[in-house]
Homo-oligomer: A and B are copies of this chain.
Amino acid sequence: MSVRDGCILVTGGAGYVGSHALVVLLEAGYSVVVLDNLSNSTFGSVTRVQEMTGQSIPTYNCDLCDKKGVEDIFSKHKISGVIHFASLKAVGMSVEIPLVYYRQNLVGTINLLDVMKEHGVYNFIFSSSATVYGDPKYLPYDEKHPTGSCTNPYGRTKYFIECILRDLCAAEKEWNIIILRYFNPAGAHPSGIIGEAPIGDPHNLMPNIAQVATGKRKEVLVLGGDYDTPDGTGVRDYLHVVDLASGHIEALKKLDEKCGLKTYNLGTGKPHSVLEMIKAFEKTCGKKIPYRIVERRAGDLPTFYADPSLAHKELNWKAERSLQHMCEDLWRWQSMNPNNYN
């Protein structure tokens, strides 16, 4: 079955990356169905996407651990491929409640794969993470870098799922699976209509910076200032969320080549430190962003960034938007929506 023969099920479609993917999918002419359990999102994002695009999106409040619920969605819609964003993703929480993380991410994914198979759907894109690489043997990470030395349960769920997918592809030739290893998504849709809207305290740097800029928070807590990096703060590979979303369009095309299992980094290859991100955002919003350097977080690495050349070569994808775009778009989103989707 070609991915164009039916619609794309987007799990976690109400989330940050998922909602931006909906926009680019609809723009590229795909039909989509959204599944989300709303554990860290609301359907406000999907409502906005419908308003932006003038298209109606079938949307299900369903948890992947409810296999019967997932089967119902596959029975109601002709699904030709799945983009699997849905995941618990807070590193710190995964250390505190590992069993919840293992159930949600592993059992959820195994259910999804089983239901896909029962319905003859073999096109799958998985949201993995650079965290699977663990302690760098060399940088930038390319896709051949060893994986598995993850420092927390969240990372292990991603690594375990990658292993499951590789074993599955080796055993059953029907499957076409693309593993996308995300670096650090940032920014928002340039319209300012959708963006990152975490429930509760944001776990990532950029929403924290933006909330300090709007006055919602007093200061940015910088986790570690004594790393072996140019300014002592952690260095990451931030990429614009719309670039990241676009990578999934290219991956869908690749699936139609009957690609078997492929793995690609999605990053820019141009890393920035925490302090550089703060400075860049100050320049964009014209305000001083107070910050305070605190203790390192256990398991955090000093520096990592992508070699994104394989995605360029095989998917014809590369990140096109600059750090300035990320800051401007995030600031527009945050200014227009100080209370996110509420």
**A window 153-211: CB within 8 A of B:** 153, 156, 160, 163-164, 167-168, 170-171
Given A148-B148, A156-B163, A167-B153, also A110-B117 (CB < 8 A): no
Closest chain B residue to A152 by CB distance?
A: B167
Main secondary structure of the interface of A (DSSP, over half): helix
Chain A interface residue number, banded: 20 to 34
Q: Could you tell me if B164 and A98 are in contact, using CB atoms closer than 8 angstroms?
A: yes
Check if A259 is an interface residue, CB within 8 A of chain B. Answer: no
Contact of A168 among B99, B117, B164 (CB under 8 A): B99
Cβ of A110: which chain B residues have Cβ within 8 Å of it?
99, 102-103, 106-107
* Beyond A99-B113, A156-B167, 8 additional pairs, beta carbon < 8 A: A95-B170, A95-B171, A98-B170, A99-B117, A102-B106, A106-B107, A153-B167, A156-B160
Check if A114 is an interface residue, CB within 8 A of chain B. Answer: yes
Q: How far is the CB of A147 from chain B (nearest CB, A)?
A: 10
Q: Could you tell me if B114 and A164 are in contact, using CB atoms closer than 8 angstroms?
A: no
Cβ of A96: which chain B residues have Cβ within 8 Å of it?
171
Q: How far is the CB of A82 from chain B (nearest CB, A)?
A: 15
Check if A28 is an interface residue, CB within 8 A of chain B. Answer: no
Closest chain B residue to A161 by CB distance?
A: B102
CA of A153 to CA of B165, assembled, Å:
11
Contact of A106 among B106, B114, B148, B168 (CB under 8 A): B106
Q: Could you tell me if B99 and A164 are in contact, using CB atoms closer than 8 angstroms?
A: yes
Q: How far is the CB of A290 from chain B (nearest CB, A)?
A: 33
Cβ of A117: which chain B residues have Cβ within 8 Å of it?
99
**A window 66-117: CB within 8 A of B:** 95-99, 102-103, 106-107, 110, 113-114, 117
**A window 126-163: CB within 8 A of B:** 148, 153, 156, 160, 163
Q: How far is the CB of A1 from chain B (nearest CB, A)?
A: 19
Nearest 3 A-B pairs (CB), nearest first?
A: A98-B167, A153-B167, A107-B107
CA of A113 to CA of B99, assembled, Å:
8
Q: How far is the CB of A261 from chain B (nearest CB, A)?
A: 13
CA of A38 to CA of B118, assembled, Å:
24
Q: Could you tell me if A168 and B98 are in contact, using CB atoms closer than 8 angstroms?
A: yes
Cβ of A99: which chain B residues have Cβ within 8 Å of it?
110, 113-114, 117, 164, 168, 171
CA of A28 to CA of B160, assembled, Å:
39
Could you list 26 examples of A-B contacts with CB < 8 Å? A95-B167, A95-B171, A96-B171, A97-B171, A98-B164, A98-B167, A98-B168, A98-B170, A98-B171, A99-B110, A99-B113, A99-B117, A99-B164, A99-B171, A102-B164, A102-B167, A103-B114, A106-B106, A106-B107, A106-B110, A107-B107, A107-B110, A153-B164, A156-B163, A156-B167, A160-B160
